[in-house]
Chain A
Amino acid sequence: QSVLTQPPSASGTPGQRVTISCSGGSSNIGRNYVYWYQQVPGTAPKLLIYRNNQRPSGVPDRFSGSKSGTSASLAISGLRSDDEADYYCATWDDSLSAYVFGTGTKVTVL
């Protein structure tokens, strides 16, 4: 059972905005940077957001991250069919002394 909780699924139609939440605690999100990864089934995860809201080069600005207190969010605007994937948040947990991943959210484009 992960210490980072995400909704199991989210969906939207092409062009819509979808937001995924990641709920943690004071020992993890509350103190450390949050990262987001995208994983298309059958492939390796891909870094989407680092240090709460920074995008690696090559990641479209349709993807944005934010953090407030012990929660974080990933927003996908202008939803596209190739955004269908699993999305995971991650951060360091000071109490566990471990890098923890969220439970994952499957995004479906209707």
Chain B
Amino acid sequence: EVQLVESGGGMVQPGGSLRLSCAASGFAFSGYDMHWVRQTTGKGLEWVSSIGAVGDSYYPDSVKGRFTISRENGKNSLYLQMDSLRAGDTAVYYCARSSEGLLDFDYWGQGTLVTVSS
């Protein structure tokens, strides 16, 4: 059974940093692209970052230069290092997988809440 379990969320002050993790199981992690998507309370979905099976990474302008996605295939783990956090980054963060080279986010984790507040 495919499982994605996020952790590392919490409350942080503006300007602070946080590192999210996503533990994957039930599939050949190294062969899939992985992604982070966030959702603000009561609002829609926003793509945050993606990393390919070979380690290439992608970001929207809203987080470029502040967030860094990485993966550790030997540990079946995905990470999101978030620096210079802003109030607008407050959201539930989901990790998701897709087939290599495609954007069919077919499995999602349960999400972890990040709150940026003073």
Within the complex, which residue of B46, B61, B103 is in contact with A35, where a contact is CB–CB below 8 Å? Answer: B103
Interface of B is mostly: loop
Q: Are A46 and B108 in contact (CB under 8 A)?
A: yes
For window 72-110 of A, CB contacts with B under 8 Å fall at: 88, 90-92, 96-104
Our count of residue pairs bridging A and B at CB distance below 8 angstroms stands at 55
Number of residues in A with C-beta < 8 Å to the partner? 26
Q: Are A96 and B60 in contact (CB under 8 A)?
A: yes
Within the complex, which residue of A97, A98, A99, A101 is in contact with B44, where a contact is CB–CB below 8 Å? Answer: A101
Task: Confirm or deny: A2 has a beta carbon within 8 angstroms of a beta carbon on chain B.
Answer: yes
B38-68: CB near A (< 8 Å → 1, else 0) gives 0000001111001000000010110000000
Q: Are B104 and A50 in contact (CB under 8 A)?
A: yes
For window 15-72 of A, CB contacts with B under 8 Å fall at: 33, 35, 37, 39, 43-47, 50-51, 56
Chain B, interface size category, equals 20 to 34
Q: Considering the chains assembled together, what is the distance between the CA atoms of A100 and B103 in angstroms?
A: 11
Return A40 CB to nearest CB of chain B, in Å: 12
Q: Are A101 and B45 in contact (CB under 8 A)?
A: yes
Binding site for B on A (CB under 8 A): 2, 33, 35, 37, 39, 43-47, 50-51, 56, 88, 90-92, 96-104
